[in-house]
Structure formats: C-alpha cells, structure tokens
Structure 1
C-alpha cells in the first residue's frame, strides 16, 4: 500500500468559476466539447489541490505547503459538499457523444469522483479521525521528519511547516471534540485499535531530540547566515514545543483517560449506527465494482481452497512429512529461513533482487519509468505498526520513489516473502505503475495523481505472479512465500467481510488467518487490525488482480502467437489508475 491512498477532503479556496462548462450548447463542436472537458478537468484538479493541500504536497504542488485545513470540521465538510455538488452540475453540460475514447475515460472518472466524494460526506468518519494505520497525526510526523514530501530547503520551507504545526493544534482540538460527539452517538473505534494509537501519540509528544519533529533542525540549509539560522532554530523549536508536543500529549491523554473506556468491544464497522451502509459504500469505493459482501466472501473461500491445494504441492516438494498447519509452524520458527544479522543485509538482498530481474523486466515492458527508485528501512517511530510500502516519487523527478521495509529485528526477518514483496511494492509493481502515471503529461493532472485501489493494488498483486517468468521463485520456500502472499490477499476477502458484516471478532479473524498462512500471531494481529481500521481497502487487491489476469489470459488466447506481453503491459499502464469497468473497455479497444 502507498501514500496516494491518504486522501482527505481539505479546505476550499476561492469561488468556483466554472464558466462555459456549466451550460450545454446544442451547437458545440466536438473540439469545443473536448476543450470544455479539459478545462473542467484542469480546474477541478487545481481547486481540489486547494481543498486538499496535504495531497498537493505529496503531488509536488508546493504552493499550498503552509496550509492545513481542519478537514474534520462541519464547516469544511459543508464547503467540500458544495464544491463537489457544483462539479456534479457542471459535468452535466458535457456532450459525451463527441468525446474521444481517452476523454471518455476522463469524463467517467470525474463523474465517479464527484459522486463518490459527495456520498462519502453523508457518513460520519470525521467522528473517528485517528487510528493506528494512517491518519493526519501520523502524516504530520512523516512530513515533519524532513524525509518525506514536505520540502525543507529554504527559510520559506521551514516557515511553511511552522504554519502547518500551528494549524495542527486546532485540528487536534477539533478531533477531540469530534470524538466526544462520537462517544455520545456510538461512532467510536474498537478498543483494540485505541490501545495501538495511544503509544504512537505518546512517542510523538516527547520533548527530546529523538522525536522525529526535531529532525529538520539538523539539516538547516548552509545558505542561511548565522543570525538567520539561530533565529530559525529558536522559532522552529518554539513551534514544535507550543503546538506539536502539547497537541500529541492532549490526544494521548484524551484517548487514554476518556476515549478508551467508551470505545467499542466489537471489531467490525457494522456495529456503528450506519455501519452496514457505510461498508457497502466502501466496497464500491475500493473495488470499483458493485459486488455484494456475500459474493466477495464466496470468492474468497474459493480462492483460499485453490491456493491451499498449490501450497500442499510445494510443501510436498520440500520433503516435509507433516500436514500444512505443521509446515506453517515450521516456516514460522525455522532458523534456516532467518538468514540476516543486520538491517543493511536485508536492504542489500532486496537490491540483489532488483538487479536480477531488470533484464527480464525490460523485455516485458516497452516503457520504463524515468523516476529514480530507492530502498529504505522504515523510520523507527512508525515501524512497529507499519507494513512494507511504496511511497511515490515526485512527478518532476526530484524525489525518488521509495520502497520502505519495516525491520524491527533483522535476525527474525524471514527471507521467504522477499521476492514477491519486491515485485509488488517496487518493480514492476507500484513503482512502475505510479511513476508512469505521474510522468504521463498527456493525462489531465487529476488522472496523473489519482489512486484507485482495485486497479493499483490489483496490478501490484498481478506483478507477484510474474516472478517465475523473471527467473525468481527457484527456491521452493521463496515460491511458498509467493503463494503465502496470494493466500494473504484471498484470506482478506473472507475476513474483511466477516469482520464488518458477519459479526466476527478480531480473535476469530486472527485464527482464520493463522490457520491458512504461516504468519506469526503478531503479524496476523497487525493485519487484522489494519482491516478494522480501514474497512474494505484490503478487498481491492484480489478483485483487481483476478480481473487483470482474466484479461491477459483472454487476449493471449485470442491473439495466439501475435500476443505481445510488453504491448499488453504498456496498454495496461498507459492511462494510469482506472476503475475496473473502464479497464475492461480500454483493453477491448486495444485488442481490436
């Protein structure tokens, strides 16, 4: 998973001057229609960046780097609603019969975004504004570390983040007020998630130089004179100590003393007041399909059974004599699968995978990204609750794409999942897909920077299946790691739906996961708690992957010897993230 997914609805600046787009002329030429759609798409992107300045910073749009709207406030949400409503109205003025196929993709994606964004605002997620996996307090720490998207190269850059710190204090007070409303109305987090958030908040409230917020003080630009540096150090330290530390301390104390006793004992979103309707919405949002929870559950059970069969075959090929649960147990504990002594050795091993696959990748893909790529260890302050992830580079190439690997203890790090993890998070997975999308300046900006989980995560999971073609998975344990990862995504279809619609407890879901894949209890717990924190997000991977694999099989069968895998991949990636129905239509046009 990566950072494009942290999309909030933030502050609207200026009025909407949609002009001619709002009126449909019966005499419009096809060119005029396309121009008005392009105008609408450009205006929407620019104004949504003003609404969404944190996303703008991640996109490299630095004009809003000082802004932090209170996106969980009633006033902000009302502005966001009228913003999307005015665009819903404006797009009705576009004559779709005159659009090219690429413009039709733009139209369909804009319409979906306006509709889904307005519908999201009818639910009450602002009453549960923090959780352990991803929320504004965690994003602030990433930005404030100086190692993420927030620039710290000039005096103005430091002043920008000081302003964000000041605004964060208001956000934190609003979050506490919202959570009190949630406590009174039944919109509360599960207790098991609250106990994970409390230590995160406590660590970020500490007044010591190890706190990540102090890191930019170590890299003040040498271009500043001594007096300016001294003043900046004093002002920046004061901003941390006046706004950041008290805000995190307040959040921690509130969560500990007031919120935890009122948090819910249930695990799934189905038990909050409009939880069932919200989950149905989240399925549509994340999978871009209209599949019901029951269909997804049945698909999950079918995939789990199929992959278990393959796992049996690989287990037998290793000469292991016990059953599959015993093999899982041996993989969890076998010392020979723990080959590393240091974090550096793990990072070097990932680099070796990159070097091994690149010749094959260059045959499978005609277009390679220009964005540079790095492998880094996840920062200590978030490693305990982090999964491996990809954080996109900047579209202008100044910031590389980064594959982050959390390493709590190198000596317990198993090598079995490394090859498929690299294919998914890095190359040719997220790094290729996101970089090629951002680099394609023929796409409207809103498409260059959009994220659709079913496509993006589905493609990354599909990339795991390319390992054998790229000369990987020669070690049966490494191939078992690949099957484990595929099983992991199939299990998600079962446990996510069960948590949120069937009343399963966290403990039932953890047991189901451990019965079907060789995870430690700690890893299974972190995963299940992630699905509790972000309902339906985990469904997108397997549903998207099955669609992409279905399309590849279909066209390789139809085209026979004329089928070109690199041409298929280039077409798959060239238009960026699209809903699965749009993907199906565009691949059919390519095949013709």
Structure 2
C-alpha cells in the first residue's frame, strides 16, 4: 500500500494536470472538440473493424451483421491481418495527446494502447497456431454451444438458418486447418500433453454420429420456428442434412482419427508449457496477459504459498467450530463426502437452490450497490455434451439486453451434487460477480463500444473473487459449511498460484500438482484433476483470480483507511465497476485519484 504522502503527491499531480488540460481547452476549444471527435471515431472504428475481424464476438454481442462468417483464424493471411489491425490502431492512438482528451477518453486511449500491445506480443508466439484444440477453451467447443440452438446464434428466421450454414462452411475450413497446424506443430516440438489429448478425443467422437437426430450439429432442425413455410422447412432440413452428413461428420472423423492415433502417440509426457519452444517467454507473456501485471513466476509462487498458509489457518477455525476432531485433510474428505450436503434428486432442485440464494441477499444488495444492471439473468444447467469437462460459468447477455446473462451449472449427477460452496459460487459467477460487472459495463453509455466487450481476466475474475468475500455483508455464510465453502473457493484460487507456476515454470508434473491440491483444498479428486488439466491447457489464466482479488481488496482497505467516515461502500463499488474491464495498473491509478478527490 502506498503511503499517504505519496497519495497526496499523486493528488497534487492529478489536480495540476487537470488544470493544465482545462486551460488548454479554454485556449483553443474548437481544436479540442475536433480532436475529441477524431479520437472517438478511432475508437468506433477499432470496435467496428474488430467485429469484422472476429465475427464470433459480434454474435455474442448481439450484433447479427456477421452471423454467417467464420474466418480461418489459423491461416497466415488472418495472422497478418491481425498484426496489421493492432499496429495501425496503436499508431492512431499514439497520435493523440492527453491534453486533447477528457478523463474517460484518456482511459480509453491507455486501454487501447495496452490492448494493441498485448495482442501484438501474443502474435509473436506460435502457440495459438499449434495448440488450436484443447479439452476446455478451444473454439470448436464454443461452436458446439452455438450449434445447440440455445446460445447466442439465433435460429428464428430462414435467414438465421442460412447464416449458420454459411458459418459452418468456414468452421469446416478451420477444423481442417487445425489438423494441419497440429501436424506442423508435431514437427516443431509443439504438441499437447498426452493427458489432455485423452480428454479431447471423447469430445470429438459424438460429432461423428451418423444418425442425424443424435448429432449435435443437426439440433437446430429439431426446433424449426412456426413462422417458416413448409417449403422453407423442407429446404432447410435438406441443406442441414447435407451439411452435417457431407462436411461436418467427415471432417470430425478425420480429426478424431488423427488425434486418437498419430497425435496421441506424439503427446508429451511432461505437463508444463516450459517444455515447448519459447515456453519460458510464452509463460511470462501469459502472466502479463491474464494478471495485467509485471509479476514474475517466482513472485506469484511465493505469494501463493503465503495465501495458502493464511487460508488454512481460517479453515482450522471453522473445522473446530463444527466440532470435527480430525486434521484439516480429513475434514476436507468429510465435507466432500457428507451426504447431508447432497440433498438433491433432480437438477431443477439445484437450480432452485441458487434462486433462493439470490432471494436471501436481495435486501443487502441495495446497500452495497446503488447501480444494478437492467440485463435479465437466468440460471441454467450446462449442456450435456460438455457437462463432464465443464466448470460453472457465466455467459454475458447481449449488448441490447434482449439475451439474458446466463449462469451455467454442470450437474452430471444431481444425487452426487455437493452444495457446500454454492453461495460463494453464485456470488462469483452470477450476482454480484460477473453479471453485475459485465452487464453494467455493457449498459454504460459513457464507455466506447470497444470497452464494453473487453475482458481482462485480472480485473474480471479478480472482481468476481472479491465478490465472494462480500457474503456476510449480503446476509449469507450463516451456515459454517457455506463459509467453509467460501474459504475453500478462495483456497482453490490461492492453490492455483502455486500449481500453475509450479507446472509451467518449476518442472512440476500433473501428478505433483494434483497431490498438492489434494493436500491443501477440499475439492473432490475428479474436480481437481479437471482443474489441473485446465491450467495445463491455458497457462497463466488461473493466476488472474487471486491477483485481481488482492488488488481490489488492497484498494478498498486503502480507501477505508484514508477516507474514514467519508468512505461509502456503494460509491467504492461504483468506482470499480464504472470503467469496465481495465488493466489492474490503470484501475489502481483511477482509485488513487478518486480517493484523493474525496479528501
């Protein structure tokens, strides 16, 4: 935490800069207005051209203009187009001086430059080319969601159905390129660990199902809208039959044969990214990407060990409160297997439980937040085709608010569903976590469009984990098991700091990481295995939660200490949320300025 002396120095600099800017605007207001208009056109162009570059993002934003497009993200031409895009907009942003911009515009300029730089850094590595498919994060899984007909891709009109067919043509090209790129990667030393490949192969197999009624990509035909004529229905059905039978199935069959055969044989026995070309440098880049900090793997590893020790101490207190006589590891097993915490027979009972959590905390939500999103919200069970490998997650609503934000809960077996961490899970993934953070950003008319759809994991996941700490203030965690669930969830994120850096920078094996988790957290072994494999597939992402949470907590404590009675929790939350997703360094700068202005 910075000292008050430094904070006041910052305040002085901020006020001086603001005065200078205000004087310049008075000297030549017409010039500034023109510059602002030019700058805002640059931001608008960045957003609009970005949607063209990645039309899947447009679909999830509720923009239907590019619903028929699926570019080959793996082609050399597309990579070159990306590089040109980010270089050009970085040059544009650098043309504008702070003296010509408002406070919001200055932040937008800094975010745009950061965004261009981090993407250009990423494009210097080959990992995105040679690891196009994994068991959790890759775009083929997202396309499966869209194919279900129950996600962001609309299936309401004849044109909607045609759009999806055209998009699938592009997706087939991408699938073939993915196989080609992985073969190239094998030759250059880029290949996934075998322990991940064995999880991918079963995900590919259902897509080769020749019975169309059982093939996921034929799903939209099962729900043809009534407004289509019989002629159109017959035509669309025929076209989908041909697409799935003649293109989707053969392409997936080829990919399945390759990944279950030659690629499986070539799979690495090591676990970390450091065992690939440029692995060390790539991991440092991933840390910067996901935490939006300059922290080193060693710094993060040590922080993780410290947090694990602190949270373990808190867990001991809960164990003693409940009256359990064994050690903490035995208590983990007791909680994991406690049938009293598994009271369900049907998935709907679990969804109803989350609805009740929401009802319980509604009165206190109005105290902690005076800005609430208008975007609707739903809780849904995760789709069956991906449920076994999926974690609970939040999918944002559309920018226009017509598609709700959705909290997806995987429930492979309702009878085995343990609810001890449901309160913290809801606070994180749903309300006030990702739903408030993302929806309020999308609804903020003061933000340029490109910032409404940005997601920096350090901020976004940091905010969501911070929200887990609000449970007692929201009337939750009255049950010691639910409070232990919150501690378990926080421990889960602290453990990530240790195992992610261990796997990718310290030579840890998959088994080393699994064992460390089993000894330090209460997650079931199957869940731990899935999590460790998730970290293996996307190095660095798991670090963002705890790094972001600790930064927001640090900023709250700083504001409480400096402002004293003037501190208002709802206003602090407004300050955190109103900017949307930004790098943590910029967030700290903003909150420091706000604290100074309140003094």
TM-score (normalised: structure 2): 0.93
Distance 1:341 1:412 in 2: 9
2:193 aligns with one of 180, 186, 190: 190
Distance 2:444 2:102 in 1: 18
Are the aligned partners of 1:165 and 1:240 in contact in 2 as well (CA < 8 Å)?
no
Q: Which residue of 1 aligns with 2:396?
A: 392
How far does residue 31 in structure 1 lie from its aligned partner after superposition? 2.2
Q: Quick check: 463-472 or 95-104, which moved more?
A: 95-104
2:170 aligns with one of 167, 171, 176: 167
Distance 2:531 2:99 in 1: 46
Are the aligned partners of 1:267 and 1:504 in contact in 2 as well (CA < 8 Å)?
yes
Which secondary structure does the structure 1 equivalent of 2:440 belong to?
A: helix
How far does residue 141 in structure 1 lie from its aligned partner after superposition? 0.7
Are the aligned partners of 1:329 and 1:518 in contact in 2 as well (CA < 8 Å)?
yes
How far does residue 169 in structure 1 lie from its aligned partner after superposition? 1.6
Which secondary structure does the structure 2 equivalent of 1:554 belong to?
A: helix
Distance 1:255 1:105 in 2: 45
Q: How many residues align?
A: 567
Which residues in structure 2 correspond to 1:411-426 (within 5 Å)?
A: 411-426=415-430
How far does residue 98 in structure 1 lie from its aligned partner after superposition? 2.4
How far does residue 437 in structure 1 lie from its aligned partner after superposition? 0.5
How far does residue 34 in structure 1 lie from its aligned partner after superposition? 2.0
1:30 aligns with one of 15, 32, 53: 32
Q: Which residue of 2 aligns with 1:144?
A: 147
Distance 2:544 2:466 in 1: 12
2:330 aligns with one of 326, 335, 347: 326
Q: Which residue of 2 aligns with 1:467?
A: 471
Q: Which residue of 1 aligns with 2:484?
A: 480
Q: Which residue of 1 aligns with 2:207?
A: 204
Residue 528 in structure 1 maps to residue 540 in structure 2 = no
Unaligned runs of 5+ in 2: 1-27
Unaligned runs of 5+ in 1: 1-26
Distance 1:357 1:451 in 2: 26
Q: Quick check: 477-486 or 134-143, which moved more?
A: 134-143
2:305 aligns with one of 301, 316, 323: 301
Q: Which residue of 1 aligns with 2:59?
A: 57
Q: Which residue of 2 aligns with 1:14?
A: none
C-alpha deviations, 1:523-547, integer Å up to 9, x for none?
Answer: 1000000000111001000000001
Distance 2:99 2:461 in 1: 32
Are the aligned partners of 1:441 and 1:448 in contact in 2 as well (CA < 8 Å)?
no
Distance 1:240 1:462 in 2: 44
Distance 2:214 2:570 in 1: 47
C-alpha deviations, 1:447-484, integer Å up to 9, x for none?
Answer: 01110100000000000000011111111111110000
Q: Which residue of 2 aligns with 1:237?
A: 241
How far does residue 255 in structure 1 lie from its aligned partner after superposition? 0.2
TM-score (normalised: structure 1): 0.94
Which residues in structure 2 correspond to 1:67-466 (within 5 Å)?
A: 67-125=69-127, 126-208=129-211, 209-466=213-470
Distance 1:533 1:55 in 2: 22
Distance 1:260 1:340 in 2: 39
Are the aligned partners of 1:33 and 1:95 in contact in 2 as well (CA < 8 Å)?
no
Distance 2:374 2:555 in 1: 27
Root mean square deviation, CA, Å: 1.2
